[in-house]
Structure 1
Amino acid sequence: MVFPLLGGWSAGEVKSVQIPEQLPECPVRFIRGTLVAQDGAIWAVGERESVYRLQVGDRAYEKSWLNMDYYSGFPKGKNFTCIAEDRQGRIWVGTDDSGVAVFNGREWKTYDRGNALNGEHVYALAVSPVSGEVAVATSGGVSVYDPGNDSWKALDRSTGLVEDQAASAGFDARGNLWLAYACGGISYSPRKSGYMQWKNVQAPWYWDSKQFARQPYQPYGDGLPSNICNVLACTEKDQVLVGTWSGLAYSNGISSWRFLRGRDYARKNSNLYGSAARKTAVPGEGNAKMLSEDFVSSILRQGKDIFIGYRTQGVDVLDAERMTVRRRIRKGLENTDVPSLLALKDGSVWAATYGKGLVSLKKGSLSYQLDRKQQDDEIPFPSPARMEDPAAVLKRLEKLGADAHAGKSIVFRGEDWSTKGDWCGRYGLTRATLCA
């Protein structure tokens, strides 16, 4: 069988596409990320598997999932963490130990610490709707690729991030960059600053004077409920939604936040040390308004609905205006994590699960018009990052030494997962301060 290049219809041809109520079974069972591409194709990535693509249409090869390892340059690993499509039509796939792999329609190319990124493990990918920049959140910081000048920028603690590991990232409608950290709350940087000026917001590290409680006593309130973030989503309505391990935070800006917790919050509080935490139960009517679970693992806004995926309690559908639960979906999702939510072009919504593949949440109209353009020219790959001039690196190292004598803090830039202890042979791509 000969597999086609992305595209395949004549330029500007409009097709009426039908999506079946039941998609072909997805080969990826432990899904970590999903994507609906510009050409209507559905992509899925996950653990223990490969990268798969399903083109829903009327051709024979479009009725089953295609393993994308067919194309040359495919990364060797089997654990994939996230996926995104840039404005040029390239597909970006994050790995757990080899950086990010980019597919241009003909072949794959990998970018890692050796040629572009801060770190090897990729947690999240985000594409700016304004500039087309791609943010790659890694274990060593965030690398931003700018297609306008074909260049890379490295962001980490030395450039203003709270911590190097951002669990999720997103660009809002104005092209500003938002980060949700694994342990450090949320950061925001305006596009006009070149992502070099950051505003941060964090929850209180302790919610009681005796420093026993690391989560709010209340089921809802102001601020962030937790600094441990799982997922961030910027909606077209300038709303920012953040899923944490203590509920959902939502805001229309960096300075004003509200949170809503899950029904299990009181049980979690009851296990805290101290009697005050046990006096947090709310009346039954309040319980009905709360989320099904505190641990939010995925977020999707579709029109007036916000779909919230959980670690064990399925999916809730919230009213986007009132931020109240409209519907609770459990069928097929019992005790299953939902790391990703997928909205197809026909209006249907699917839960991408960790262990059960794709599960239908909402039926669509079953037909839509898709204008898919023929891709005649090969899309060029991003250029590797330009290595810094040694003289400039030396000058910064001298400044670090001066800062240390002046009592200023020194931060570590980069990571050593790839060195395997062989510092002399592998270091030199970035700089670090090793203290004895």
Structure 2
Amino acid sequence: MKPIKYLFILWQGLALLASSGYGQMKTSLKSGQLSLIKSQSTNPGDNVHCGLQDKAGNIWFGTTGDGVYKYDGRSFTQITAKNGLNSNSVNHILEDKDGKIWIGTEAGLVLYDGKTFAEIRIPLRKKMPANKFQNTHDVFSIMQDKSGKLWFATIDGVYIYDPRRADGQTFTPFIISEGAGGYRNSNNNVEYILEDKAGHFWFGGRGNEGVYRYDPKRAVGKSMTNLKPNGDSWAWPVLQDKKGDIWFSNWSGAYRYDGKSFTKMDGLSNNPVTRIIEDKKGNLWFGGGGRGICRYDPNRAVGQTFTCFTTKDGLINNDVWSILEDKSGNIWVGTRNTGLCRYDPRRAVGKTFTSFSE
């Protein structure tokens, strides 16, 4: 059976959305039509880098050249520097417990309160590493801990934001001790932060010697532990699964940490793993450079645990940079060349992927 043909809707220009306070590029859809994103980036290597579904059900996609696309289930709204972003290169998007949207870009931090986008300045420390935005931070990732504090991994190190403080000193640098073992270039190489169920904080990034676990309950000088995945000098801490294992990704694959030791995952070759998520059924999804996406079922027999999907199966591009499961159980895959597609596990084989990029 031939794939179902969708009527692709082209972007029709700019309009002003008075109720939300920002400009948009949006399609007008009729029943049965499919809305697409159309990249305006001049760099063909840009990608859909991150994704988030907010409490209202809207899905946000951050790109490295086209700003942010917001999908309401029918059409896409594009938000760029013209509409309040400080850069069109977006690294991370997070919705906090109050429903505010935090956007980390290569030029710093932007906050969306439901009406407007506003730049939030993180105080600069002395001797900040060189970057093209000399008076701002490059925010790599954002994490909110159990207490409500927000953690920002930036080009100038880690900062903690406490919205409950009333003295105006809301951003506090978090200094990782140089004696922790191998933390090069001061604290500049943190790219991902994870809080586990025990209340420990994990830090990882390129240019370090392994990963770091911070236990806030231990005494100063003994609170930071340096751990090294087998055979690799660095890794990104990305999630803790339902069983309690912590997963790390890096340029040579993925690691699982069971609380005692690291195990490198066989079946993923030695290609980069850029994203890992756990779906509602307990499967883990791995995305990476040139591999496409692979689904890992921990309950299947050894040797049958990985199922991989590539362009041969309908994936839009094999260079994957973001994976998101929505509330309906669909898997959204963001790729190089500003590619976006959706995997529906309920559809028949051969019709499971739908492309949302022109």
| TM-score (normalised: structure 2) | 0.61
Post-superposition CA distance 1:14-58 (Å, at most 9, x none): xxxxxxxxxxxxxxxxxxxxxxxxxxxxxxxxxxxxxxxxxxxxx
Aligned to 2:154: 181
Distance 1:356 1:203 in 2: 35
Distance 1:343 1:225 in 2: 33
Distance 1:363 1:120 in 2: 38
Amino acid at match of 1:71: S
Instruction: Give the one of 98, 110, 114 matched to 2:66.
Output: 98
Deviation of 1:364 (Å): 4.8
Aligned to 1:146: 113
Deviation of 1:97 (Å): 1.8
The alignment's C-alpha RMSD in Å is 3.7
Aligned to 1:356: 291
Counting matched residue pairs gives: 258
CA contact (8 A) 1:180 1:186 kept: yes
Aligned to 1:297: 236
CA contact (8 A) 1:342 1:352 kept: no
Question: Is 2:140 aligned against 1:167?
Answer: yes
Structure 1 unaligned spans of 5+ = 4-68, 208-214, 263-289, 374-436
For residues 307-346 of structure 1, the aligned pairs below 5 Å read 307-312=247-252, 314-319=253-258, 322=259, 324-334=260-270, 336-346=271-281
Name the one with the larger strand percent: 2
Aligned to 1:156: 121
Aligned to 2:164: 192
Identity of aligned residues (%): 16
SS in 1 for 2:83: coil
SS in 2 for 1:332: coil
Aligned to 2:35: 71
- Which structure carries more relative contact order (alpha carbon 8 Å, separation 6+)? 1
Distance 1:293 1:325 in 2: 13
Aligned to 1:306: 246
Distance 1:306 1:224 in 2: 26
SS in 1 for 2:290: coil
Distance 1:316 1:294 in 2: 12
Distance 2:54 2:274 in 1: 21
Q: CA, structure 1 residues 233+204, in 2 after alignment: closer, same or farther (shift >3 Å)?
A: closer
Amino acid at match of 2:120: L
Amino acid at match of 1:185: G
Post-superposition CA distance 1:191-242 (Å, at most 9, x none): 224896111123467x7xxxxxxx9359xxxx99852122223445544322
Q: CA, structure 1 residues 193+75, in 2 after alignment: closer, same or farther (shift >3 Å)?
A: farther
Q: CA, structure 1 residues 176+204, in 2 after alignment: closer, same or farther (shift >3 Å)?
A: closer
Distance 1:113 1:196 in 2: 28
Post-superposition CA distance 1:53-72 (Å, at most 9, x none): xxxxxxxxxxxxxxxx9415
Instruction: Give the one of 216, 229, 232 matched to 2:193.
Output: 232
Amino acid at match of 1:191: P
Distance 1:341 1:371 in 2: 17
Distance 1:117 1:372 in 2: 29
Question: Is 2:241 aligned against 1:241?
Answer: no
Distance 1:176 1:101 in 2: 26
Aligned to 1:135: 102
Aligned to 1:126: 94
Structure 2 unaligned spans of 5+ = 7-32, 129-135, 306-325, 330-358
Q: CA, structure 1 residues 193+106, in 2 after alignment: closer, same or farther (shift >3 Å)?
A: farther
Distance 1:326 1:79 in 2: 30
CA contact (8 A) 2:163 2:170 kept: no
